[in-house]
């Protein structure tokens, strides 16, 4: 086992300080990938291409190899390695083994979620780039592949060393729409684009990566001009406007732009398929490819699904999961009518289950028996998706006890409370949070990605229940993500009271 990653605590506030600090962070590699690569290196029948292919399963391993190879060549006449196979060849197998021995190798579920989520975005971007551009620019497929995978890599060590800073940046800039310049100055002391560019140059990453950051910093005017043309979906008019501006046409057609387009789409899709950011990158991609917008959107969705098949994990969010929802789900939900109230028959079933929860002395054989009754009460009240979780003694972990209307794998989930400030607040004392279109952006950003993946929509109820002075259970429920029936909301509150009394009676019956 390699040494543990050392995570610094103090925060730099200059570009050079950040580069020095983040350069010291060793990125953890999943144990399975680590073992497979070590085995392949020791097998003289495996080629460098085989070893490189195995390394692709771990973006952290790719970055570490590329950095080491380019650092090794620094000061010589050698050009930076533009792909992983060249990097391994330059290092040689002995030095590659030595580098592997220095990297932390841990089980996948022990690698921080913030880092794995960011790397999933990079893998999604790489799939988008390969699917959309590689066949069109076949000679350059390696540049497209590695550039798009490594574009966000300057932020990977940040996700290990300062995950809370990135989380705060996302909440304030992406979800609350605050000024990026102001927020970044406050959180990091520098602009993130400046820092990313500085790291790509210090690590001598593929040139298309640094070109993408240069474009965002210095060529935004050209981006805006191209976007204006792209919004006019008449192909003839687009061609005329580009012909009238040869400099813009030459700039737009640079192959290096594929890396930025792919990452722009992958990042924006993390927020929503229908948000303005996503639409902008899709317009620009359609103009670059000279394809109709609808056709590009279809291709983008197909590539997202392929990416999800290869990279999805239970505790991470992948935008492909939202494709089963209506195209403009975030906007549509604002105009939906509330769900119909439960029928008289359903309410009779609900009352029956609540009565069972209130019976004295308590009749439940075990906790699973109790939570099954609680779940059935919530379903009878009109809830379409239900999850009941029990807290451990230290209030550090929530484990699923009951689910309804959710995928089967949801029944085996556990949540690390430390990774969600909203869960932390709910476990301090009994409380209820109701997500609506007005507060959804604020609160959903504080939820674990695994819950956002399961409860897609803008309407959600969460309630923590106490027993003997401490929180014992968390209830999460919705009516498919659309507006609630107020009758169901009232029934939710009354059911919670019944469950709390049942928990108290069940826990204290031996006394």
Residue 329: the pLDDT is 43
| 3 is a domain residue | no
Look at residue 27 in the predicted model and tell me its pLDDT. Answer: 93
Residue 129, phi then psi, degrees to nearest 5: -65, -45
Q: Is 38 found in the same domain as 68?
A: yes
Residue in this structure with the two tokens 């399963």, named with its chain if needed:
57
Domain boundary among 264, 290, 313: 313
pTM more than 0.85 = no
Closest CA to 290 of 130, 132, 467, 149: 132
Q: Are residues 83 and 222 in the same domain?
A: no
Question: Does the residue 21 lie in any domain?
Answer: no
Same domain, 282 and 383: no
State which H helix or E strand residue 415 sits in. Answer: strand 414-416
102 and 216 assigned to the same domain: no
- Mind listing the pLDDT tens digit for each residue in 90-105? 888 899 999 999 999 9
Residue in the block written with tokens 């000679």: 139
Count structural domains, the chain.
Answer: 3
| pLDDT single digits (tens) 56-88 | 889 999 999 999 988 865 555 567 888 898 899
How large is the average pLDDT for residues 246-259?
Answer: 94
Question: How many beta carbons lie within 10 A of that of residue 227, not counting itself?
Answer: 14
Strand locations in 210-346, DSSP E? none
295 plus 246 within the same structural domain: yes
Shared-domain flag, residues 308 and 203: yes
Residues 403 and 274 in one domain: no
Task: Indicate whether 288 and 193 sit together in one domain.
Answer: yes
Give the pLDDT score at 305.
94
Q: Is 328 among the domain residues?
A: no
Residues 254, 186: one domain? yes
Does a structural domain hold residue 23? no
Q: Is residue 331 part of a domain?
A: no
Do 140 and 254 fall within a single domain? yes
Helices (H) and strands (E) in the chain, counts: 25, 8
pLDDT per residue as tens digits for the range 14-71? 999 999 999 999 999 999 999 999 999 988 898 888 898 899 889 999 999 999 988 8
User: 5 versus 176: which is more confidently predicted?
Assistant: 176
Domain of residue 74: give its range.
Answer: 29-111
Whether 33 and 99 map to the same domain: the answer is: yes
Higher pLDDT, residue 78 or 265: 265
300 burial type by CB count under 10 A (0-12 exposed, 13-18 middle, 19+ buried) = buried
Instruction: Specify the pairing of strand 385-391 against strand 470-478.
Output: antiparallel
Question: Does residue 224 sit in the same domain as residue 168?
Answer: yes
Domain membership of residue 55 (yes or no) is: yes
């Amino acid at each position: 086992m390699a040494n543990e990653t050392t995570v610094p605590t103090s925060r730099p506030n200059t570009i050079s300080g950040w580069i020095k600090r983040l350069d010291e962070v060793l990125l953890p590699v999943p144990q399975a990938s680590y073992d497979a690569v070590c085995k392949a290196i020791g097998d003289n029948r495996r080629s460098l291409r085989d070893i490189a292919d195995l390394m692709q399963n771990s973006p952290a391993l790719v970055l570490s190899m590329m950095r080491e190879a380019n650092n090794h060549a620094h000061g010589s006449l050698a050009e930076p390695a533009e792909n992983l196979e060249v990097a391994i060849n330059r290092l040689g197998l002995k030095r590659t083994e030595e580098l592997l021995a220095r990297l932390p190798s841990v089980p996948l579920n022990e690698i921080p979620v913030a880092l794995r989520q960011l790397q999933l975005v990079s893998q999604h971007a790489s799939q988008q780039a390969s699917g959309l551009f590689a066949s069109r620019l076949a000679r350059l497929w390696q540049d497209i592949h590695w550039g798009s995978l490594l574009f966000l890599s300057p932020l990977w060590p940040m996700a290990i060393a300062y995950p809370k800073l990135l989380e705060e940046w996302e909440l304030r800039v992406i979800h609350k729409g605050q000024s990026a310049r102001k927020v970044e100055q406050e959180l990091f002391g520098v602009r993130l684009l400046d820092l990313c560019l500085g790291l790509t140059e210090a690590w001598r990453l593929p040139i298309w990566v640094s070109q993408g950051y240069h474009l965002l910093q210095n060529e935004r005017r050209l981006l805006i001009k191209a976007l204006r043309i792209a919004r006019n979906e008449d192909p003839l008019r687009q061609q005329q406007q580009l012909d009238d501006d040869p400099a813009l046409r030459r700039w737009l057609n640079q192959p290096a732009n594929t890396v930025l387009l792919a990452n722009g789409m992958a990042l924006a899709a993390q927020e929503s398929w229908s948000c303005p950011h996503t639409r902008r990158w899709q317009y620009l991609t359609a103009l670059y490819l000279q394809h109709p917008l609808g056709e590009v959107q279809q291709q983008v969705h197909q590539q997202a699904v392929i990416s999800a098949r290869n990279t999805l994990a239970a505790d991470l969010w992948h935008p492909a999961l939202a494709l089963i929802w209506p195209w403009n789900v975030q906007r549509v939900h604002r105009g939906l009518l509330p769900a119909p109230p439960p029928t008289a028959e359903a309410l009779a079933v609900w009352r029956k289950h609540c009565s069972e929860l209130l019976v004295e002395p308590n009749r439940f054989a075990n906790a699973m028996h109790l939570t099954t009754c609680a779940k059935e009460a919530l379903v009878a009240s009109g809830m379409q998706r239900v999850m009941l979780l029990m807290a451990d003694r230290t209030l550090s972990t929530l484990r699923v006890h009951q689910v309804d209307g959710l995928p089967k794998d949801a029944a085996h989930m556990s949540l690390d409370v430390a990774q969600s400030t909203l869960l932390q607040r709910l476990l301090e004392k009994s409380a209820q949070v109701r997500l609506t279109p007005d507060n959804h952006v604020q609160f959903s950003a504080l939820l674990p990605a695994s819950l956002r993946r399961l409860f897609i929509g803008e309407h959600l109820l969460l309630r923590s229940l106490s027993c003997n002075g401490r929180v014992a259970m968390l209830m999460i429920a919705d009516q498919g993500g659309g507006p609630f029936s107020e009758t169901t909301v009232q029934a939710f509150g009354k059911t919670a009271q019944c469950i709390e009394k049942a928990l108290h009676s069940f826990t204290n019956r031996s006394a």
